[in-house]
Structure 1
């Protein structure tokens, strides 16, 4: 029998959800301040309205009474799942008021894309979007990359919620002894990377002739987009706009840093570099990610060389490598135009690009997708099964793997990896079919579906304000499913439906 949500459960969910919505309202202070600093007075009112709406909605939800004690897992999962929807609704209000979106649905799409750190955009005339609105778009991505729950925990907003609140956001590894320290480490580490990344990119942009104020904001935004493997860009040409090879190098480094598990960085932080190198190189996830990236890069280069596009080695090295790094880290930055992707890339290169998007980066990182850890576990389990078949009946093999310590490769671990992988594949296919039904080319529809579910944001050009309404909703659901990695979302759905179903009366 499925567990049901009781009235007390709904009160707890609403109360803590209200706290999260209030937090989003408070964070709107950043774009509000930017609008004042940049004298964008017509935008200032939009963020006052947005923050006011968050205060009203959050305040009403906070009024729900709660019973003392820690959150139960199903309550935490429900809060985390709903905050991406309610939070996106609130976040969309100032964007919609900006006049750069055809409808509120388009602004909501932008909010979901930002908070799930996907990077798809339906913004019109993005090159003339205000500084404050761009600041809000990238603030959403920073929130989404680290996790809204992680930010809340690091600020000490929830002192008695239990570990279920942290793990409900798709993070299963505790990088520090307790939840609060774990969340604070992720927040502090991310802030340090963003600061150093901004300084590096700001220096590059100054050398390329950017105005200091504009250069600072662009450096900050691109750093956030790269490190959080998100993909929003302040210009419609994405990274192509800058025409800077040094900037592209730094961006690739930031993307790769963002795609590695936070827990591994914590091990280095606590144990020192030398003592952690052996564990780092022996980790099944790092090995899988490295092997996969090299393999996919070689295959992509071979597919491009077989065609007539990027035949010069400098262009191949610059654009080909960047594109694959962006795809394997699930970052939506592009150095190829949609015309080049659709018309000039061979079908083989296109397929390899989609495959890279589907797998993604590391678990416990800012990247999305199936994750290298699951692929490594499935591959190791397959080899172990083959070894068992070939071994004598009297021999019983046990297989282990290294990932933040040594673990036994059990059927439960393998089954969990297979379940999530299958759910990703089913969602990829479902979204692709939805795109094909709308009349789009199968390969383009598949790429958009995979990119949405893996929270990548790389687009073949299909994503635009004029796509059918139902397709916008499908992609929003895919971004939501992928960010929560399915199980958490499905658990909430089943609990809600079980709660609606009338109880059976006991027979006398």
Structure 2
């Protein structure tokens, strides 16, 4: 059945995107305050201009889009995808004005990387970036981890039926009956951890010689990066800058917790501690992290590239956890992947990045729950083959509750995995077309599409413009898990189609 699109369809998309855009502008007040506190007046001016621009764009969208039209599910999908593009562009303005970006495209690359919690960067002279801009960089990834739309649902969008549609458009799971309460709980959990993580990391930073006020900023920045599985750090050495095992361990713990499903967080916080041992996502993560880490350690440790338990932890296991949680924090340089990691170890890292963390979390990848579903489906089929002909074999998975493993669930999981695999491969082909070796191109493509942020050296300001655009697209479509982006593209195509405004 065909659905006719009229002007109200476009209006409702603009109206709710405008509301989300206003939130982006309001969030900039935080780095503005940081700039004032640290007397960074050029950065203050940059953020004042960026805030004004964001608010103007947001209000214009709302004025143009004012309508009584009731949002439908395809509106929500379109709003979710479109708002990330607008947020990317507006969040890039203070980046570009800072003088640390070679082009506005590079600034957009970094903000899409931030909002999607990827962590790949093109910013220049990172050691001399202002406190205000560093705060903005990490705040972008912290906001993106929870979800831009989720933030808007918490403060601006009140009707529950509309809010629910926008939330699922962004790939989030409703934990509580009231969707606004769900969004609030997501931020409550994140902000409690933010306080705890900032204090812990700030203490370690202070003990390692960083002056108190900056120790607090470093603790907050790295926590935001770890919890949101974002991968940003205030220095080009990434987390290696701190040279502290305590700093590494705390960061890893919060990265693992951050990669967990928000529904799982809520279940545990509600006292259901058995969920830790029963949940299919946590089981899948434990198994695949163990297997991929063993392969990498065997390939590098047993080959005597890294010697000793401490070296294996700092140089290998940290990278594998970072890859699997799609955090992107790194204790080695990008060149080390190229010079020191052999192909077997790189394939282990690529596999970990591709799988990623849990659904409805800050993590990327095609998610552990889908790996668990496919594995359970394979076991079910094997049991069907060996069972008597009249036997009825059923399988269940446990995620908060027991769920019957139906064919539709298996097909859905398989479809998403295939879409990710195709995206990884096509992104790698673009890299190969520009002369990069396949293994390097695949590593970088998977890192972008799975929103990881580890780099083997392909990502740089000198890489071809098309490759930058491809990685931006991969980060975007990977973070929203395809459907919202595909609906958005189809929506735009139908609006400009010469055949008329028809939604199919």
Assess same fold via TM > 0.5. Answer: yes
Q: Does the 8 Å CA contact 2:164/2:174 hold for their aligned counterparts?
A: no
Give yes or no for contact 2:101–2:123 (8 Å, CA) kept in 1: yes
Q: Partner residue of 1:92?
A: 92
The alpha carbon displacement at 1:305 in A equals: 2.3
Contact 1:170 1:485 in 2 (8 A): yes
Larger mean CA deviation between 15-24 and 425-434 belongs to: 15-24
Q: What is the Cα deviation at residue 371 of structure 1?
A: 0.2
Aligned residue-pair number: 500
CA distance in 1, matches of 2:304, 2:89: 45
**Equivalent in the alignment of 1:227:** 227
Aligned-residue offset at 1:382? 1.1
- 1:37 matched to 2:32? The reply is no
How far apart, in 2, do the equivalents of 1:457 and 1:504 lie? 41
Q: Distance in 2 between matches of 1:63 and 1:418?
A: 42
Q: CA deviation at 1:499?
A: 4.0
Structure 2 residues not aligned, in runs of 5+: none
Between the aligned partners of 1:504 and 1:446, the Cα distance in structure 2 is 40
Structure 2 contact 82–488 (Cα < 8 Å) conserved: no
Q: What are structure 1's unaligned runs of at least 5 residues?
A: none
Whether contact under 8 Å (2:443, 2:456) holds in the other structure is yes
**Contact 2:431 2:438 (8 Å CA) reproduced:** yes
CA distance in 2 between counterparts of 1:68 and 1:414 reads 39
Does structure 2 conserve the Cα–Cα contact (< 8 Å) formed by 1:81 and 1:488?
Answer: yes
Distance in 1 between residues matched to 2:335 and 2:303, nearest whole Å: 16
Equivalent residue number for residue 312 of structure 2? 316
Q: CA–CA distance in 2 between the matches of 1:162 and 1:26?
A: 20
2:106 & 2:23 partners in 1: Cα distance?
Answer: 23
The residue that corresponds to 1:165 in the other structure is 166
Kept in 2, the 8 Å contact 1:361–1:368? The answer is: yes
Which residue is 1:242 aligned to?
Answer: 242
Note if 1:376 corresponds to 2:372. yes
CA drift of 1:269 comes to 2.2
Give how far 1:113 is off.
Answer: 0.8
Secondary structure (helix, strand or coil) at the match of 1:120 reads coil
CA contact (8 A) 1:43 1:98 kept: yes
Give the TM-score normalised by structure 2.
Answer: 0.96
Q: CA RMSD, aligned part only? A: 1.5
Q: Tell me how far apart the structure 2 counterparts of residues 256 and 281 of structure 1 sit (CA, whole Å).
A: 15
CA contact (8 A) 1:326 1:332 kept: yes
- Superposition deviation, residue 155 in structure 1: 1.9
Displacement of 1:268 after TM fit?
Answer: 2.0
1:247, distance to aligned residue in structure 2 (A): 0.7
Aligned with 2:301: secondary structure? helix
Q: Which residue of 2 aligns with 1:27?
A: 27
2: CA distance, partners of 1:2 / 1:387: 42
Q: Are residues 277 and 201 of structure 1, via their aligned partners in 2, closer, same or farther at CA, if it must alter by over 3 Å?
A: same
**Whole-Å separation in 1 of the counterparts to 2:163 and 2:245:** 46
Counterparts of 2:154 and 2:386, CA distance in 1: 51
Structure 2: how far apart are the matches of 1:458 and 1:237?
12
SS in 1 for 2:64: coil
- Is residue 148 of structure 1 aligned with residue 148 of structure 2? yes
1:430 aligned partner: 426
- Match of 1:71? 71
Distance, in Å, in 1 between the alignment partners of 2:317 and 2:500 is 60
Shift of 1:353: 0.7
